[in-house]
Amino acid sequence: MNSVPEIDLSALEELLAEGVVLIDVREDDEYTDGHVAGAIHIALATVPDRVDEIPSSGAVYVICALGGRSARAAEFLRAQGIDAINVAGGTNGWIDSGRPVVLGDSAV
């Protein structure tokens, strides 16, 4: 996992204002229970099958609950030539810090 770059939640918050791509690799129920606005849901198990849906140019940020699954997804995506960056702290950290989340299955 050392080959996967990471950013913290504050950096992610700034980048989201610029319209970066954020992929949430948590399970369906976790995503609908609350996710970062704009996060595209692609559950970890489906990432290999849906890699074509992920932009191959520019950085892509990957988030899960804490950072473990997203690090694995980012490592896989990097092996496919995608500039994937793990979000340390994950959605749980985002929620714990009082940042807003979106409920349901839509990205916004």
Query: What pLDDT shows up at residue 108?
Result: 72
Q: Percentage of residues in the chain with pLDDT exceeding 70? A: 98
| Best CA proximity match to 38, nearest among 107, 102, 94 | 107
Number of domains in the chain: 1
What's the CATH number where 86 sits?
Answer: 3.40.250.10
Rounded average pLDDT over 30-34: 96
Angle at 93 (CA atoms; ends 76, 106), nearest 5 degrees: 70
Q: Rg of the chain over CA atoms, in angstroms?
A: 12
Summarised one tens digit per residue, pLDDT across range 74-92 is: 999 999 999 999 999 999 9
Residue 103 lies in a domain: no
What's the pLDDT score for residue 27?
A: 97
Kindly report the average pLDDT of the chain as a whole number. 95
pLDDT at 8 over 90: yes
pLDDT at 56 over 50: yes
Question: Residue 2: its pLDDT value, please?
Answer: 56
Domain hosting 59: range is 6-96
| 107/77 Cα distance (integer angstroms) | 21
